[in-house]
C-alpha cells in the first residue's frame, strides 16, 4: 500500500459486488473485524497517490472502460497472503480479465509501482498477525462452505474511488464497461 500503509487521500478503481453476495461478505468482514465499514468489491487498481487532474484520470478510465466487455467473476477458496497476512477470497474465473484491466489502466498518469504483484481477490481481513490470520481463515472457510447463494457476479461497472476518512471510500466517478454489442445486419 502507498504511503507506508496509509491510503488516506489515495485513489483506487473497484467494482462493487452485488447483493445478496455483497451483504454476506460485508457481514462476514464485520464478524472478523467488528469496527470496519466494508463494501464488498474487487479491486482493479489498488490504492495509489494521484496528483494529476482528477478529470483527466476519470476520462482515461471511462475511455478504457468503453473498450471492455462485461465478464463474470467466480469466487474460489479462502486463502492467506503469506507476506501480509491478508485473509482473502480467491478468484476461480475472471482473474485474467481483471489482470488485463489492471495492466491496461496501470500506465501513464495512473501508473503506480505496487508493493506486491497484482493478484485479483476479495479482501476479508487485513492488518492482522499470522496467527490471527490462520484463526480467521479457518472461521471464514466454515462460513463460506455454508453459504448457499451464488458465488459469482458480473463486472459491468468500475468505480473510481477516493479514501476520504478512516474506513470511508467515496465514489468519485463511474466507468461502465461496454454495454452495447454490435448487432450483425442481415444481408438483403
Are 57 and 172 within 8 A, CB to CB?
no
How far apart, in whole angstroms, are the C-alpha atoms of residue 69 and residue 71? 6
Model confidence at 3, pLDDT cuts 50, 70, 90, reads very low
Strand 41-48 and strand 122-125: pairing? unpaired
Virtual torsion, Cα 49, 55, 60, 64, nearest 10 deg: 110
Asked if 86 contacts 140 with a C-beta cutoff of 8 angstroms, the reply is no
Q: Which residues contact 83 (CB under 8 A, 6 or more apart)?
A: 116
Q: Which domains does the chain have, with CATH numbers?
A: 3-176 (3.90.1140.10)
Looking at residue 181, what is its pLDDT?
A: 52
Average model confidence (pLDDT) across the chain: 91
The three grid cell numbers given for residue 12, joined into one nine-digit string: 483506487
Please compute the mean of the pLDDT values over residues 80-98 and round it to a whole number: 96
Torsion of CA 17, 147, 124, 138, to 10 degrees: -170
Query: Measured between alpha carbons, how far is 116 from 42 in angstroms, rounded to an integer?
Result: 16
The mean-pLDDT minimum among 45-54, 66-75, 171-180 falls in: 171-180
Amino acid at each position: 500500500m502507498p504511503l507506508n500503509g496509509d491510503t488516506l487521500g489515495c485513489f483506487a478503481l473497484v467494482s462493487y459486488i452485488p447483493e445478496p453476495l455483497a451483504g454476506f461478505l460485508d457481514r462476514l468482514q464485520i464478524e472478523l473485524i467488528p469496527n470496519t465499514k466494508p463494501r464488498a468489491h474487487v479491486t482493479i487498481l489498488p490504492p495509489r497517490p494521484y496528483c494529476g487532474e482528477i478529470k483527466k484520470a476519470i476520462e482515461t478510465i471511462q475511455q478504457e472502460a468503453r473498450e471492455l466487455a462485461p465478464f463474470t467473476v467466480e469466487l474460489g477458496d479462502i486463502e492467506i497472503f503469506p507476506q501480509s497476512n491478508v485473509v482473502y477470497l480467491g478468484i476461480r474465473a475472471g482473474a485474467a480479465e481483471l489482470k488485463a484491466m489492471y495492466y491496461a489502466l496501470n500506465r501513464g498518469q495512473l501508473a503506480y509501482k505496487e508493493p506486491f504483484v497484482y493478484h485479483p481477490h476479495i479482501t476479508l481481513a487485513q492488518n492482522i498477525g499470522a496467527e490471527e490470520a490462520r484463526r480467521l481463515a479457518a472461521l471464514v472457510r466454515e462460513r463460506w462452505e455454508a453459504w448457499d447463494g451464488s458465488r459469482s457476479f458480473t463486472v459491468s461497472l468500475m468505480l473510481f474511488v477516493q479514501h476520504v476518512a478512516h474506513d470511508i471510500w467515496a465514489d468519485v466517478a463511474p466507468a461502465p464497461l461496454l454495454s452495447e454489442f454490435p448487432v450483425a445486419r442481415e444481408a438483403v
